[in-house]
Each structure stands twice: as C-alpha cells, then as structure tokens.
Structure 1
C-alpha cells in the first residue's frame, strides 16, 4: 500500500514537471538545432539568398581577417580580464574581510558598479576616456600636466580601456563571492598558524589560498563564459573600433546576423562560440573534480 502511494505521488510529480521540461527543452534545444542547421547555408536576407553550402562557412571563418581579429581580441580580453579578476578579486575580498569600522557599509557600496547596466557604463566610459574633457585624462593631468591621449582611437589603449571597464564593473561581484568563501575558514586555523610562527604572507599561501582555490575555480567557469559572450560593453563603448580591433566575437556575430543580415555566416560563428564555451566548461569542471574530489 505504501509503495503504491509512493508511485502515485511520483507520477503526479512527473505530470506536473513534464510540461515545464518540454517547454524549457524546446526553447533550448530548438534554437541550437536551428542555428546549427542554418550554419550550413548561405542565408542573406538583403539579397534573397538561401543556399546550402556545406562547410564553406566554417572554412571562410578562418580566412576572414575581421573574424580572426575578433577571435584574437576575444582571447586577449578573456585571459586579461579573468587573470585580473582573480588577482584583484582575491585582494579586494581580503580587504573586505578585515575588521574595521563601516565594514558592512563598504561591502554594500562596493557592489554599485556591478548593479549598473553595462550599456550605461560603456556610454559613460566613452565620454570618460575622451582626450579633451574625459575624467581619466583630467585625473592623469593632476600628476602629468599637458598629458594628451585619445584612448579609444588607438588599438592597444582602446583594448586596455575595454578590459579596464569590464573589470571595474564585475570585479566587486567576484570579490563578494570570494569573500563568502573566506567566511567559512575557521579563525582557529589562523590562530594555530600564528602560534607556530607563521606570518601573514605564509598564512595566505599555506591556508587561505588553498582553502578558497576551489571556490575561485568554480567561479571562473561562469565568469569566463560571461566574458566570451560579452557584447554590450563593446557595442556601447567602441562599436568595435578602431577598425575591428575591439570587436569581440559576440559583437561580430551580432554584426553579421543583425546588421549585415548574413544569417548563415552569423550562425556559423555562433556555433563555433557555443562549442568553445562547452569545451572550456568541461575543462574547468574536469580540473575542479580531479583536483578537489
């Protein structure tokens, strides 16, 4: 009797859940399948073209200088941003974990940049990095009179500015999540280390860093995915310029699909990005499981 009642409850649970799973599955699987299918076609709405071309789009991707430039900057952007997120995020988390007055207030206001929309930040940064009246150059001129630099019209400085604004926005959120991991480290461990003569630096590398490393690696998975899929900061701040030097791959996909209306080529880029994200996710998960399980 008890088993029959349990089975009835299980069937009721599945009946209630299946419609949601079907809807959710359709909204995930169908767009991926359709994008994958279109990636083998030359679909250009402005010219009325819809022809099957096989893997031609995939071959063209690696011969397209604009795409190669976007791929190069995407790698630079992701690596530089994540490296600085981890280094500065851990440093900020350690500061926020210290005991001082107004600690709770500081933890609250530090999240303000993260709460702002990236498009707003990008538009503000576009003005902030202006040579004539931008906040950045005005600040530098306090220490270096007659400083002149048009940040967003030179490749290296424009790329640096994009990375800097991405870090400025999401670093506080990363730090708060690392801070949560720090909260779980018992104070007794540090007290024992101090008794044994360990200094602050030794305690960090021997106790703090090993204990929060798993959290850092786990956090790196979604943060890396967000960097790969970044679009709005480039759209609002540089529009991919100068030339195509700050055009991230997600911005290139949007340009091809919705500006040029070249849906086949844009779908090809989207599928490539999708598989890159899947591979990176699997690598991160493998490293976490192998190192910490």
Structure 2
C-alpha cells in the first residue's frame, strides 16, 4: 500500500511541471479574459481601468458591428458546413472508386488543405480582382465583356470568403470520410447488388448508415473551427467591405489591437468562449449517444 502511494506521488511530481505550464498557458488567460471583461480598458477613450461590471456585455447587444459580425459568422458557419458535408462526401465517394491514378489524386487533392490559410487568402484576394484576377479571366473566356469586382460588394465578398474556405478545407473533410468508407466491407455491396438494390438504394441503405458516425463527429469539430475562423478574413478581405465579412474572432482582434478596447474585446471573447463551450457539450452528448447506439 505504501509503495502504491509512493508511486502515485512520484507520478504526480513528474507530471506537475506539465500541469503548471498547461495551467499558466490555458487557465490563466481564460481567467484574465473574464476578469478584464468587467473593467473599462478602452485606451483610446481614456479608460480608467475601473470596475464597470456587466457594462461591456450590455454594450455588445447594442453594437451594430457586433451584430453584423454575428450574422456573418452564423451564415459563414452554416453555409460552409452544409457544403462541407455535401461536397466532402461526394469527393470521398469519388476518391473511393477504382481507377488509374487514384493514389496520385488522393495526394494532390490535399494540396489546398496543406497550404497555409494566410497564403490561400492572399492568393484569393488577387484571384477575385476585377482587372487581373483568375476568376474573372476564366469567366471572360465565355463572356468577354464581363467585369465585376467581387470583394467590394457585400454579398459577393461573403460568397468569395465562403468559397475559399470550402476550397481549402473540403479536401481534408473528404479524406476523413474516405477513411470511414474504406472500413465498409465490399461484400455488403455485392450482396445488395444480388438482391437487386441499385446504386442509389445502396448509398442510402449501406453507405450513409456506415459513415454517419464519422460525418457527424467531424462535422461538429469543423463547425467549431468555422466559429473561430480568423485567418481567411484577415488575409482576404480584412473584414470588408465595411464590416460585411467580419467574423467574431476577427472582431475581437480589431477591438483589442486596433481600437485598443481591451475590456470590450474580452467581453466578446467570453461570449465566443461560452458558445464554444456549448458546442463542446453538444459534441460530447452526440458522441455519447452514437457510442450508446453502437453498443460501445
């Protein structure tokens, strides 16, 4: 018994440095964010650093820029995830087919995902330019008189940001789905074919049930990543035109480092933290239900 206690104590001492470092780099910043959100830390407006309670949180819900950022964050997340699922599953099914060059295609399809988002965003900024952009150049091959600057109009700029996000991350989503597809035994499809099931029936009766767990799980994680996206907007549109493409994470950066309103930025950070906490709870609940359904 004494040896067991000594072993446990030794184990705790060995992991204590890692726990302290983790606590300092994770718990302490979270605590300070909550703490700062309760104070007037607006340096440009002569913030006194006095305690103002929930005033920063009250200001959030009367701030048009915050509302605009929230609207686009919701649109960006929902639309992006719908197409992630549709295009990702479709691409995974294509990569799962038997054809020459399949391995080469699987490697090359990941190139967009491997590219840093800042690089992809900057390249997209040029690609959507009216005068020398790749997008308009391709359209002019069909319609020579076409002129449109995608990034100076609210709706088209939002569409462009979502399109770049899909181009960047759908391949990775597809590769994860592909891994699930390869665990489905081919004998099941052969049996279904003998029973007279067509490709559509086999897809909905065999493929979808077998990949649903994977798709749901990775969709939750991808949704959380969309909610905290920052780099695509930073590199591509800088939140413009106006604030139409500003995401919540980018709004936090603007308030903290451009407007130097640290208290208000912390309050927005806390709101986003609570949203992510709720999604984490949903994630754990869904995974638990799926495991219970599968008897795990």
Using structure 1 for the length normalisation, give the TM-score: 0.96
Q: CA deviation at 1:16?
A: 1.1
Q: Distance in 1 between matches of 2:128 and 2:87?
A: 22
Structure 1 residues without counterparts, runs of 5 or longer: none
Contact 1:217 1:284 in 2 (8 A): no
Cross-structure match for 1:143: 142
Q: Distance in 2 between matches of 1:212 and 1:89?
A: 12
Q: Distance in 2 between matches of 1:255 and 1:127?
A: 23
Matches within 5 A, 1:251-262: 251-262=250-261
Cross-structure match for 2:210: 211
Q: Distance in 2 between matches of 1:16 and 1:196?
A: 60
Contact 1:69 1:244 in 2 (8 A): yes
Contact 1:39 1:265 in 2 (8 A): yes
Q: CA deviation at 1:290?
A: 2.2
**Larger displacement relative to structure 2 (62-71 or 215-224):** 215-224
Q: Distance in 2 between matches of 1:182 and 1:8?
A: 48
Equivalenced residue count is: 291
- The root-mean-square deviation of aligned C-alpha atoms, in Å, is 1.3
Q: CA deviation at 1:189?
A: 1.1
**Larger displacement relative to structure 2 (14-23 or 182-191):** 14-23
Q: Secondary structure at the match of 2:41?
A: strand
Matches within 5 A, 1:102-141: 102-141=101-140
Q: Distance in 1 between matches of 2:9 and 2:182?
A: 42
Cross-structure match for 1:185: 184
Matches within 5 A, 1:65-84: 65-84=64-83
Cross-structure match for 1:27: 25
Q: CA deviation at 1:291?
A: 4.2
Q: CA deviation at 1:211?
A: 0.9
Q: CA deviation at 1:85?
A: 0.5
Cross-structure match for 2:36: 38
Q: Secondary structure at the match of 2:219?
A: helix
Contact 2:69 2:245 in 1 (8 A): yes
Cross-structure match for 1:163: 162
Structure 2 residues without counterparts, runs of 5 or longer: none
Q: Distance in 1 between matches of 2:283 and 2:203?
A: 24
Q: Distance in 1 between matches of 2:129 and 2:276?
A: 34
